[in-house]
Structure 1
Amino acid sequence: MTLSQPVGADLDELYAGQRSRVMIVDDDPDTTLLLKQILRSAGFDVLSAANGIEALKKYHAVTPDLVLLDLMMPEMDGWEVLRQLRQFSPTPVMVLTAINSKETLVDCFQLGADDYLTKPFYRGEVLARINAVLRRSRRPQPAYRYAFPKIGLIIESQSREVRYKDERIPLTVKEFEVLSTLARHAPEVVDYLTLSEAVWGQDLPQARQRIKFLIYLLRRKLGRVDPAGADLIVNVDRLGYKLETGEG
């Protein structure tokens, strides 16, 4: 008599569910095909959309782990996609665009983008940036509360809420990471490497310039509540930044 053998496991199916899903939103089919090849060869599951309307529909159906987003598209552009995503989702968004402009970079960060990369892109950098963003998004967040009564600043990690002079200050993910890192080390100086690792999970080549943009945005938001708020974050030449807590 022949004994029946147990059915073996399909390991491809077993591990498929553990792969990260990336949605490419770009109206250029050549760019989409290239990105799909790069990401699939690196072990990612991928899907694509040629405009913002299609992207939002697919997002709700699949819920990707990261969105690669072009800005200039028909029907609904990347700006509107980012605005709508940030109304209901914290999913990381990396802007991938041909627009090489500091103003555009700042605007994207203000809307809640997690990273910004210009075309043409280098395969290795795209993968490194994606992996860094995914690592940050999955990092467990410790519960903490920083209160600086002399300057009227309160930072809550669980709700990611910042209050200054009893007024709530809406911050993007990256702005919050910068401010909370400065608060954690206050009143000591925080170097650029520490800030870069807190925000991007690694030391990026353009980290200093990007940190300067984020500091500029933070100063502007704090200064809208009270002009003195713009002076709370102090640049220490060639070293980094520190938070003035009024503690002496």
Structure 2
Amino acid sequence: MKILVIDDEPQIRRALRVGLEQNNYQVFLAANGEEGLDMAASRLPDLIILDLAMPGKNGFDVCKELREWTKTPIIVLSVRDREEDKIKALDLGADDYLTKPFGIGELLARARAVLRRQAPDEEQEQSTFTCANLKVDFAHRRVYISNEEVHLTPKEYDLLRYMTTNADRVLTHRQLLSKVWGPEYENDSHTLRVHIANLRNKIEEHPERPFYIHTETRVGYRFRTDQQATANDKATVGV
């Protein structure tokens, strides 16, 4: 697997190269947006790790241009307390984000998740989704916890289906509302919060400490299947 890292900070590039190569990824490095776009076209990576805060052509510009011609997964790197940047990047087509500083293990877990979603379409056409004790039967619109059926409202089911078919991906409030309820509901965050709470009460063993539906503060939600980083390298990047 080939990974392209686009970041203007030399120490970040070095740390990511070491961590990724230790886990058998082939790594290409770009120090700015223009170089990153050129390398994306010439190297055709399987995954792009993109810093948002770069001088010149920033990460938003790069993400937008990449999405004009490629579906290659993009994980963006952002600084703390800039949720609006994360939302903007996700809306531009990024697949996930990490906040600096972050652990190599967490990055690897996110990379595995987005790469899994890049499987050929025929492999993704599944009739059921299973994670731990949860099973979603797409063909019959039924949901089971430990083999016992859970009764969901139509919208609760639609919300769960969309989240499970995009498992391990950060979904913004706007994306969820638009896809499940329609574009006219994009700003109705109260409706989304109510349905998320109802879903948690029905599928989570401990709704106050959710196992499946994780909140991405001020950004959206993520349906988690990869519950923790398992990489042996716990080094922190971006301190």
TM-score range, shorter chain: 0.5 to 0.7
- What is the aligned partner in structure 1 of residue 210 from structure 2? none
2:156 to 186, 189, 194: 189
- What is the aligned partner in structure 2 of residue 223 from structure 1? 184
Q: Which runs of 5+ in 1 are unaligned?
A: 1-19, 145-180, 241-248
- What is the aligned partner in structure 2 of residue 125 from structure 1? 106
Name the amino acid aligned to 1:54. E
Q: 1:223 Cα deviation (Å)?
A: 0.8
Aligned residue pairs, count: 177
- C-alpha change, 1:42 and 1:191, in structure 2 (3 Å) is farther
Q: 1:187 Cα deviation (Å)?
A: 2.4
| Superposition TM-score, scaled by structure 2 size | 0.62
Identical positions, percent = 33
- C-alpha change, 1:197 and 1:37, in structure 2 (3 Å) is farther
1:83 to 64, 69, 89: 64
Q: Distance in 1 between matches of 2:179 and 2:25?
A: 34
Name the amino acid aligned to 1:28. E
Q: 1:199 Cα deviation (Å)?
A: 1.4
- SS of residue in 1 equivalent to 2:28: strand
| Superposition TM-score, scaled by structure 1 size | 0.60
Q: Distance in 1 between matches of 2:83 and 2:112?
A: 24
Q: 1:104 Cα deviation (Å)?
A: 1.6
- What is the aligned partner in structure 2 of residue 239 from structure 1? 199
- SS of residue in 2 equivalent to 1:87: coil
**Contact (CA 8 Å) 1:191, 1:239: kept in 2 or not?**
no
**Contact (CA 8 Å) 1:26, 1:70: kept in 2 or not?**
yes
Q: 1:195 Cα deviation (Å)?
A: 5.1
**Contact (CA 8 Å) 1:24, 1:68: kept in 2 or not?**
yes
Q: 1:112 Cα deviation (Å)?
A: 0.4
Q: Distance in 2 between matches of 1:67 and 1:234?
A: 35
**Contact (CA 8 Å) 1:114, 1:133: kept in 2 or not?**
yes
Q: Give runs of aligned pairs for residues 95-244 of structure 1, distance below 5 A.
A: 95-141=76-122, 187=154, 189-190=156-157, 196-201=163-168, 210=171, 212=173, 214-216=175-177, 218=179, 222-223=183-184, 235=195, 237-239=197-199
Q: 1:75 Cα deviation (Å)?
A: 2.3
Higher helix share: 1
- C-alpha change, 1:120 and 1:217, in structure 2 (3 Å) is farther
Q: Distance in 2 between matches of 1:125 and 1:96?
A: 12
Q: 1:189 Cα deviation (Å)?
A: 2.5
- What is the aligned partner in structure 1 of residue 40 from structure 2? 59
Name the amino acid aligned to 1:131. R
Q: 1:40 Cα deviation (Å)?
A: 0.2
Q: 1:97 Cα deviation (Å)?
A: 1.9
Name the amino acid aligned to 1:235. H
Name the amino acid aligned to 1:239. L
Query: Alpha-carbon deviations, 1:101-122, whole Å to 9, x = none?
Result: 2222211111000001110001
Q: 1:237 Cα deviation (Å)?
A: 3.4
**Contact (CA 8 Å) 1:97, 1:119: kept in 2 or not?**
yes
Q: Which runs of 5+ in 2 are unaligned?
A: 127-137, 143-152, 201-239
Q: 1:84 Cα deviation (Å)?
A: 0.3
Query: Alpha-carbon deviations, 1:193-213, whole Å to 9, x = none?
Result: 765542134xx8xx7xx5645
- SS of residue in 2 equivalent to 1:96: strand
Q: Distance in 2 between matches of 1:92 and 1:66?
A: 5
